[in-house]
Amino acid sequence: KAGVTQTPRYLIKTRGQQVTLSCSPISGHRSVSWYQQTPGQGLQFLFEYFSETQRNKGNFPGRFSGRQFSNSRSEMNVSTLELGDSALYLCASSGGQGFTDTQYFGPGTRLTVL
């Protein structure tokens, strides 16, 4: 099975712009979660989508949003970019059926905000 894919791998934006990141889960997986990784804050949960519905959300401002399509692909959007949004954004997929599910991560999108 193909793994989780994320596009683009690298992105450079300027403050105030917006950005959209894409994630394609493992075939058959219905849950997609997003995480932000920074040197200072480590790995932090952004949100999770399951069957096109946001099921869970972390403590991030409303500038961070996402959606999931009927084929389970997911996008996350960050509006009005700030310098502090520079990070590695990781997407993870799983079957989404329970706490024992394993999440499988994609390679990430490295976002740099100038």
Partner 1 sequence: AQSVAQPEDQVNVAEGNPLTVKCTYSVSGNPYLFWYVQYPNRGLQFLLKYITGDNLVKGSYGFEAEFNKSQTSFHLKKPSALVSDSALYFCAVRNSFSGGYNKLIFGAGTRLAVHP
The candidate with the shortest Cα–Cα distance to 63, out of 114, 8, 15, is 15
Q: Which tokens in the block code for residue 33?
A: 């979660």
Choose the stretch contacting partner 1; rule: CB under 8 A; options: 12-20, 63-71, 76-84, 96-104. Answer: 96-104
24 binds partner 1 (CB under 8 A): no
Please tell me the distance from the alpha carbon of residue 36 to that of residue 45, in angstroms, as a whole number: 7
85 binds partner 1 (CB under 8 A): no
Q: Which tokens in the block code for residue 25?
A: 């889960």
79 binds partner 1 (CB under 8 A): no
36 binds partner 1 (CB under 8 A): no
72 binds partner 1 (CB under 8 A): no
Among 25, 26, 36, 48, binds partner 1 (CB under 8 A): 48
